[in-house]
Amino acid sequence: MDACALLNLTATGEEVRIAEALGLHFLVGVRALGEVIYHVGPEDDEGAPTREPVDLSEVEAKALLVTRSLGEEFDEAFVRAAEQLTDIDAESVAIAATLPCPLVSDDAKVRKVARMVFPEVELLSTLELVHDAIALLELPPDQARDWLRRLRRRGNFAPPRRLPLAEWYRDMLRGE
């Protein structure tokens, strides 16, 4: 999982429910975890946006967050990914390519490079995880929309048009 995907999932405020519903752990590289710092907060008295620290304590307490440092077994994949990506993004791709596990990313460039360099890596998006959790939990539409509104506001999330379920997300926010 890359840093942006973890930020986006935590922006919903439902990261524990999502992980538990889907039976998964959030596997994040040490570099990427260092980027998971703030969500967009409410506006201050002057109308400027504030920042809220990301709270990972609940996912850590429930052992749903797994961090991974890159060792020698990741070197080749890391170098190949780092030819086109930042070290932080290359770390996430290298972990997915080496372990193997799915790469959760909403970043179009990260997804493109992963698909090109490591076609065997399964790509997932925040929206796929959120959508599937909503379905498994059988959330009513108004509650699902609340999750997506928090994702939009706190994560400043606007999915690329080609991201799986981008249209579903926009329709849900419009109340359709």
Domains and CATH numbers, the chain: 1-176 (3.40.50)
Residue type, 53: P
The candidate with the shortest Cα–Cα distance to 4, out of 161, 158, 122, is: 158
Residue linked to tokens 């997932």: 124
Q: How many CB atoms within 10 Å of residue 103? A: 26
Tens-digit pLDDT profile for residues 58-99: 999 999 999 988 788 889 999 999 999 999 999 999 999 999
CA 96 – CA 36 distance, rounded (Å): 19
Helix, strand, coil tally for the chain in percent (to 5): 55, 15, 35
pLDDT for position 175: 83
Predicted structure pTM score: 0.92
131: its two tokens: 């959508």
> Average per-residue pLDDT in the chain?
93
